[in-house]
Chain A
Amino acid sequence: MIAGVSYTQCYWDDVEPGEALPRVDDEITYRRVIMNPATTWDYFPGHHDPEYARSQGQPTIYVNTMHVLGFVDRFATDWAGPRSFIAKRKVALQRSIFAGDTMVGEGRVLDKRTDAAGDGGRVRHLVDLEITVKNQHGDLCCPAAVTLELPSRSRKVAG
């Protein structure tokens, strides 16, 4: 076990539709936005050049798509645990998150179900999540829908 690393696992059998996921607040400093191009190799100037962002009508540099996706994934798997697999994720980028903002993740379980869409009809244990990413003013920035494959008490998710 490595200190600080997340191992806690949620099992499909124990999930209750309607249950709320723990809220996550993440302060997005200028430095974190600059980490976008550094880590994702996305050098679009809206993510590192405030003057360019202003020419687009934005107040300053903003988080890139992959950072939003990374936050949504993290929000889902922080709750579900590291033995879960993101099977599907849809994110609408309605409003940008700027350097200096806080990303606020909230969500709940919409449904739990099984399907046989996996390898050779392998049954998957799925949960559907409704997630919102807001800023510190409560403005909805990125509504998201995530379907996770979870381990059940009797079977792990295939690697």
Chain B
Amino acid sequence: MGIEETGYEIPVGTYEDAEAMVGTTTPVRFGEVDVNVPMIRHFAAMAHDANAGYWDDEFAEEQWGGVIAPPGMLMTWLIPIEWKPSGGRPVPLLTAQVPLPGDTLVNASNEAEFYRPIRAGDHLNVVEELTEVSEAKRTVLGVGHFVTTVSTYRRQDGEVVARTTNVLFRFTSEEDDA
């Protein structure tokens, strides 16, 4: 898988290389855009979600103190912009920086706890920690490793709004063997 396809290199290494990275914590990374109503409504349109908290300014103000973001959008607020005049490649999520044998990846599970509503105007930041890399396991997609990261999301005043645990499957695709 080349950089043109994914936008970033997926580093290749051994299970031992990956294990040595367990415990790594990223520096605080800030969202490049504030939580905002146009992106909230575009996402709600994608999910066909008619929740008044996303669509009705008056309702949202009265209930939540402003339009809120669908919880499922959480990761979006921290995804780097694809291209910048200054050049350079966006830094991938920690989970995609782990050196392993697999040439591709697919997400396996996501667990989230939300402590505060996320409102339009919030400016989020995240710290990610690599907490676990499994031994090689076989699934229907092929042989690979499960990579677990814990991400803590804060808003501009330092308040933790959410914490997520994500498990990603990093594997070698078997299409060519078929």
Using a CB–CB cutoff of 8 Å, the interface residues on chain A facing chain B are 1-2, 4-7, 26, 32, 35-36, 38-46, 49, 52, 54-57, 64-74, 77-78, 82-83, 85-93, 96, 156-157, 159
B112 engages A7 (CB within 8 Å): no
The A/B interface has a contact count, at CB < 8 Å, of: 151
- Please name all residues of chain B whose beta carbon is closer than 8 Å to the beta carbon of A78 when the two chains form the complex: 49-51
Segment of B14-22, B68-76, B121-129, B148-156 in the binding face: B68-76
State whether A5 and B50 are in contact (beta carbons under 8 Å apart), knowing that A57-B175, A83-B63, A156-B63 are contacts in the complex.
yes
State whether A69 and B175 are in contact (beta carbons under 8 Å apart), knowing that A32-B46, A74-B47, A82-B52 are contacts in the complex.
no
- Please name all residues of chain A whose beta carbon is closer than 8 Å to the beta carbon of B51 when the two chains form the complex: 5-6, 74, 77-78, 82
Which among B7, B65, B107 has the highest number of chain A CB atoms within 10 Å?
B107
B110 engages A6 (CB within 8 Å): no
Q: B104 an interface residue at 8 Å Cβ cutoff?
A: yes
Q: B12 an interface residue at 8 Å Cβ cutoff?
A: no
A55 engages B73 (CB within 8 Å): no
B41 to chain A, nearest CB (A): 9
Interface string of B77-102 (1 = CB under 8 A from A): 00101100000000000000000000
Q: What's the Cα separation between A69 and B52 when bound, in Å?
A: 18
Interface size class of B (residues with CB under 8 A): 35 or more
B109 engages A93 (CB within 8 Å): yes
Q: What's the Cα separation between A5 and B49 when bound, in Å?
A: 9
Contacting residue for B114 out of A56, A72, A86, CB 8 A = A86
Q: B106 an interface residue at 8 Å Cβ cutoff?
A: yes
Q: What's the Cα separation between A6 and B47 when bound, in Å?
A: 14
B43 engages A65 (CB within 8 Å): no
A5 engages B56 (CB within 8 Å): yes
B47 engages A90 (CB within 8 Å): no
B114 engages A42 (CB within 8 Å): no
Closest B residue to A118 by CB, please name it.
B115
**Nearest 6 interchain pairs by C-beta:** A69-B72, A70-B72, A70-B47, A74-B49, A82-B52, A35-B46
